[in-house]
């Protein structure tokens, strides 16, 4: 299996990890009684739970773009050292993004997000080259 496919698989695990993080931080905020109940009244996550949810949503917004790039690279046999580098940059930046978002680090979080986008840009540059 190619490095790009391995990183796509790892990204799937990252989705599960971030979903669990979001769930556990929200449960810590509102308590078990709310999370096991019918949730008829919505409670907005705040603090770490809110940041975990926003980081998770942000991953879900960018992951399809990454997945499409990996699939096209594989099917078109376009993989090279650049696509591997782009995939690594995307994946590791996404992991760093979670930490930066949870700890509320302004600017650094944005720079990390930009790094992940550069990783995607590299991959699409190689697809279109």
Cβ–Cβ under 8 Å, residues 3 and 69: no
Average pLDDT score over residue span 44-48: 92
Non-local (6+) Cβ contacts of 94 within 8 A are 11, 14, 59, 62, 116
CA-to-CA distance for 109 and 44, rounded, in angstroms? 22
Whether residue 37 has pLDDT greater than 80: no
CA-to-CA distance for 83 and 79, rounded, in angstroms? 6
Range of the domain at 69: 3-128
Q: What was the pLDDT predicted at 43?
A: 86
Which has more pLDDT, 93 or 30? 93
Whether residue 55 has pLDDT greater than 80: yes
Non-local (6+) Cβ contacts of 119 within 8 A are 85, 86, 87, 88, 89, 90, 91, 93
Average pLDDT score over residue span 64-74: 98
Q: Which two structure tokens, joined as six digits, stand for 17? A: 């990890």
Average pLDDT over the chain, rounded to an integer: 95
Count the domains in the chain. 1
Average pLDDT score over residue span 61-77: 98
**CATH number for the domain including 49?**
1.20.120.550
Confidence of residue 111 (pLDDT cuts 50, 70, 90): very high
Q: What was the pLDDT predicted at 58?
A: 97
Cβ–Cβ under 8 Å, residues 61 and 94: no
Q: What was the pLDDT predicted at 36?
A: 77
Exposure of 53 in the CB half-sphere (CA atoms within 13 A):
14
Q: What was the pLDDT predicted at 106?
A: 87
Whether residue 33 has pLDDT greater than 80: no
């Amino acid at each position: 299996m190619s490095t790009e496919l391995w990183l796509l698989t790892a990204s799937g695990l990252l989705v599960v990890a971030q979903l669990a993080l979001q769930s556990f931080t929200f449960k810590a905020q509102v308590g078990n009684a709310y999370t096991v109940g019918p949730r008829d009244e919505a409670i907005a996550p705040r603090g770490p739970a809110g940041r975990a949810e926003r980081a998770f949503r942000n991953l879900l917004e960018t992951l399809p773009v990454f997945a499409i790039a990996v699939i096209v690279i594989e099917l078109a046999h376009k993989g090279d050292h650049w696509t591997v580098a782009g995939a690594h940059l995307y994946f590791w930046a996404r992991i760093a993004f979670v930490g930066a978002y949870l700890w509320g680090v302004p600017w650094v979080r944005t720079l990390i997000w930009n790094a992940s986008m550069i990783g995607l840009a590299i991959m699409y540059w190689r697809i279109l080259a």
